[in-house]
Amino acid sequence: MAKKQLDYTCDPCRDDFALVIRKDAPFNAEPQPSDLVKNYITPLPYFFCRSHGPLPELDDKHVIAISGIGIQAPASFTVQQLKQDFAKKSVVMALQCAGNRRDGLHRVKHTKGVIWGPGAVANAKYSGCRLKDVLESIGLNCQIHDLGKLHVAFESVEECEEDTCYGSSIPLTKALDEFGDVLLAYEMNDVPLTRDHGAPIRVVVPGYIGARSVKFLKSIVIQDEESRSYFQRKDYKILPAHVDCEQQANDYWCKVPSIGEFNVQSYVCEPVDGVLETGSQPGKRLVKGYALSGGGRGIQRVDVSGDDGKTWVEADLFQPQMDTHTTNVWSWCLWTASIHTHRNKRIVCRAVDTSGNIQQEYPVWNYRGVMNNSWRNVDKNENQPSVL
Amino acid sequence: MAKKQLDYTCDPCRDDFALVIRKDAPFNAEPQPSDLVKNYITPLPYFFCRSHGPLPELDDKHVIAISGIGIQAPASFTVQQLKQDFAKKSVVMALQCAGNRRDGLHRVKHTKGVIWGPGAVANAKYSGCRLKDVLESIGLNCQIHDLGKLHVAFESVEECEEDTCYGSSIPLTKALDEFGDVLLAYEMNDVPLTRDHGAPIRVVVPGYIGARSVKFLKSIVIQDEESRSYFQRKDYKILPAHVDCEQQANDYWCKVPSIGEFNVQSYVCEPVDGVLETGSQPGKRLVKGYALSGGGRGIQRVDVSGDDGKTWVEADLFQPQMDTHTTNVWSWCLWTASIHTHRNKRIVCRAVDTSGNIQQEYPVWNYRGVMNNSWRNVDKNENQPSVL
């Protein structure tokens, strides 16, 4: 498909954001790592922006259409109706782009996509109505035939270069799960969504990559296959390392599953990653970072090393959802550790989630540069025993 | 607690098993890796045995008692009643001991537990009644207050040295999940359970470590905390690497979550792991192995290397549940790959699950030696950059 010319002249002003711009149009930007771990709930100025096209201007009269399998007559709701007719629910959750830390793979070999650092992740309180409540109000429930094979496809008002609009889907089981916490959200951190974050209404899918949390929602369709959108079928997938160009990728898209839940992840945010010069300040140092895992899996441990992985200490974790013994942990974990640092040695960390998954040492490259969760960043000329 | 003297004289004869015995009493044994990957559904002679004490002798008159939160009057069922009164359901699933591949950690430093190789895993068709159906028949359902905080505790008739009996628990949400597939199983591979596998009835919890699939089931209790059993509270947990003796562990058990879902795993079973001498047969070689992940996550890729991880090829996967687009993948994946082998270089593999989790290179040691899923096995005197 030939790339469309899109008009960004009506995009909002972002002067009050403390973000590093990764791409101007569409607007993609992330905070400095040290800013990112200042707050458990990420304030707007430090919240990464991920756009696929010019941002629409919509208000509460905007209509969301719902149709498909199990729905007798197509239904539609304005945002105003959703606010009035359904109970308001909140979820505190980490939103992470599948391309978070793509730079680590891009250093190994060229990747396709916005070159994100470690800041394409944030933690917010979203409020809105439960997708489950809305679907049940129009007749859908867990008794539907073949529930396990159905999908909920979302489309956005957002235009983009790659397809007619932004779209994506999730399994219907996730949408109807009592503990799935999928929302049609109209607030972020107790104020209405801004345009950069999908105003007036977006989907939020806790524990899934950000690509499934469709902004500027315009339609919901229940169907017996995944979304046919470019972004479901030909984009957010982990291709094998030997696939390294678009032509090869075209043969592979249909063989590789779309990413849903994300993997275990952590990062050292303060001091910033890289060689640490401690010449004038030897001894112990307080370091800070984040950790998270997908699918409701909490973080059970973060190991931190001041000597590039030779020795490790256990970090102190701040992860309130783990303490309340809820079914799923959707939020990230902020951690601190006091460690001995060494001249010319990197500080690194690795997290273990509640399923015992742990971050691997070296990046395993993939063409789309998604889901990078290695604990070691590799420079171009460094010995790279297992990067491909 | 002082260790009890237990009587193993009534244990069954196991002459028809092709298993390597890891411990005589209680009986713990596993197949040779090459036997393990001969069949997608593991036949009895190749199915690992994991016992905690002498095996009880019970028949279909054996009674299972159910009580606790949400159950008005304690109920009980004989095995015969469960067979007659509830629909028979089947699930094909991998059962994996949390200690599978403990030998890889034990080579790094002493671990506590039976020193399993890579054969403490198998794939079977279990049949029985759904725990969900049984609980719902006595009044329990998803509307119960605080569902997300409740647990289902199982106790066994099996005596053991460490506690009054074997016991364990799972979240009630898992038991009541329409797609959780937790069974009270009385058949394995279409024949009645043998004593070695929990006759006449056991729990099977797909996607969870084997320790939660309690054999010789005698009671089910719905409660607001995890099982108080030794095996839930003081055993199957991933302790940090600096905890390396019982005294330190005692301070740590309550700080670390019990393992439920297991992590991504794979292993090269044929040829057997270790240095491969190809002196007289250079060139390509067919290798075989298994891969699996916990929590219903399927395997999306297995990379195989004939040169100890320097270069990789993609394996062919046999994993029928992934093709049917079911909600959860509980079975293992068998894989084959044709690779170039090299004199004195190991064959290694690493799997990627549908959440993008991948096996790390070096073992990360823990006292109980659980959840080892590194792709490299480390010999005692080898350079070990990240084992602790």
Closest-CA distance of chain A to residue B208, Å: 9
A chain contacts of residue B311, beta-carbon cutoff 8 Å:
388
Q: Stretch A209-220: mean pLDDT, rounded?
A: 98
Structural domains in chain B, sorted by start: 44-246 (3.90.420.10), 265-353 (2.60.40.650)
| Integer Rg of chain B from CA | 21
- Asked if residue A317 has pLDDT above 90, the reply is yes
Cα B225 to chain centroid distance, Å, stands at 23
Q: Whose CA is closest to A377, among A304, A289, A273, A277?
A: A273
Element (H, E) at A334: strand A333-340
Answer whether A358 sits within 8 Å of B263, measured CB to CB: yes
The pLDDT of residue A323: 82
Q: How far apart are CA A78 and CA B44, in angstroms?
A: 59
Residues of B in contact with A260 (CB under 8 A): 354-355
Task: Write the residue in A148, A256, A373 that is nearest to B300 by C-beta.
Answer: A256
**pLDDT bucket at A287, cuts 50 / 70 / 90:** very high
Which residue is closest to A356 within chain B, CA to CA? Answer: B263
Asked if B240 and A385 come within 8 Å (Cβ–Cβ), the reply is no
A127 neighbors A88 (Cβ within 8 angstroms): yes
Q: Say if the Cβ atoms of B241 and A173 lie within 8 Å.
A: no
Q: What's residue A72's pLDDT? A: 86
Nearest to A148 among B261, B326, B359 (CB): B326
Comparing B25 with A343, the larger pLDDT belongs to B25
Q: Which residues are bridge partners to B261 per DSSP?
A: B208
Identify the DSSP state of B245: S
Q: Which chain B residues have a beta carbon less than 8 Å from that of A102? A: none
pLDDT at position B378, please? 79
Query: Could you give the CA distance from residue A275 to residue B124 in angstroms, rounded to a whole number?
Result: 50
Gap from B357 CA to chain A (nearest CA, Å): 5
- How far, in Å, CA of B371 to CA of B264, rounded? 9
Nearest to A263 among B261, B356, B364 (CB): B356
What is the block-wise mean pLDDT of chain B (388 residues), using blocks of 10 residues? 80 91 96 98 97 97 98 95 98 98 96 97 98 97 92 96 96 96 98 98 98 98 97 97 96 96 97 68 86 98 95 97 87 97 90 98 97 87 52
Record: contact B142-A312, CB cut-off 8 A:
no
What pLDDT is recorded for position B381?
A: 52
Among candidates B142, B171, B312 on the partner chain, residue whose Cβ is nearest the Cβ of A388? B312
* Separation between Cα atoms, residue A111 and residue A334, nearest integer Å: 29
Write the CB contacts of B281 (distance below 8 Å, at least 6 apart in sequence).
none
| Contact at CB, B386 and A354, closer than 8 angstroms | no
Alpha carbons within 13 A on the beta-carbon side of B284 = 6
Q: By CB neighbour count within 10 A (0-12 exposed, 13-18 middle, 19+ buried), where does B7 fall? A: exposed
Radius of gyration of chain A (CA): 21
Cβ contacts (< 8 Å) between B326 and chain A: which residues?
A: 148-149
Q: Which of A179, A238, A322 sits opposite B148 (nearest CB)?
A: A179
A42 confidence band (pLDDT: 50, 70, 90): very high
Asked if residues A116 and A97 have their Cβ atoms less than 8 Å apart, the reply is yes
Here the ipTM equals: 0.94
Q: Sorting pLDDT into bands at 50, 70 and 90, what band is A272?
A: confident
- Chain A residues whose beta carbon lies within 8 Å of the beta carbon of residue B333: none
